[in-house]
Amino acid sequence: MIRAACWALLLGLASACQAAPKPKSPAGNFQVRWSGREPGRMSTGATAGWCAPRHMLEVRGIQGDTGVALVLYPAETLTAGVYRVVPPTRAESLAPAAALALRWLTPKTVQGFRGESGTVTLERSRTGQVSGEIKARARSVVDTQRVTVTGSFRDLMLRLEPTACAAPARPASAAEPADTGVH
């Protein structure tokens, strides 16, 4: 189940790479660096989607085949402050918390990582924009690699994201059993 949730987050990021819309304004940007066996960096436009019913903010930046996604889960309303990074499978139930996913291509494989510790510091402007700082550690979803991730996102306008607001799918095992008529 944990692996499935991580893959779902990474697949969402992967599908966004193919159909990533161009940022509408050059004002918002996302800059991320990671260190580890394969260090790298990304600097690109970003989107910030807010889902009020699920109390979540998704910040996503895509540059070619490289992408970073953050999901912040405030306790109630989206407020400025420090959100601790926890594994994506636990973030929603540990609000206020943050989940992080990072992926890039190497000549031989897709490297995918999920956040396991650290912080995201969120700032909100009076004009409705969000900015923040990231300091986190992430673990590979396929091997034992770990990376240290630092970065920032600046001046992103919040948009309502209907796709981010979709209720999580219930696993088949959680469905209610059919009424057998036996009492």
| Nearest residue to 99 (alpha-carbon basis) of 58, 152, 132 | 58
Kindly indicate the confidence band of residue 76, based on its pLDDT and cuts at 50, 70 and 90. confident
Q: Give burial (CB, 10 Å; 0-12/13-18/19+) of 170.
A: exposed
| Cβ partners under 8 Å of residue 181, min gap 6 | none
Distance separating alpha carbons of residues 98 and 116, to the nearest angstrom: 10
Distance separating alpha carbons of residues 166 and 54, to the nearest angstrom: 9
Residue 121: the pLDDT is 97
Q: Give burial (CB, 10 Å; 0-12/13-18/19+) of 132.
A: buried
* Out of 79-88, 98-107, 143-152, 169-178, least confident range: 169-178
Q: Which two tokens stand for residue 133?
A: 């700082």
Q: Which two tokens stand for residue 32?
A: 């991320």
Q: Is the pLDDT of residue 180 over 60?
A: no
Residue 104: the pLDDT is 92
Q: Is the pLDDT of residue 61 over 90?
A: yes
Name the residue with higher pLDDT: 36 or 8: 36
The percentage of residues in the chain with a pLDDT greater than 70, rounded to a whole number, is 73
Residue 128: the pLDDT is 85
Can you say whether residue 181 is alpha, beta or left, with left for phi > 0 and alpha for psi between -120 and 50 degrees? Answer: left
Q: Is the pLDDT of residue 182 over 90?
A: no
Beta bridge partners of 129: 157
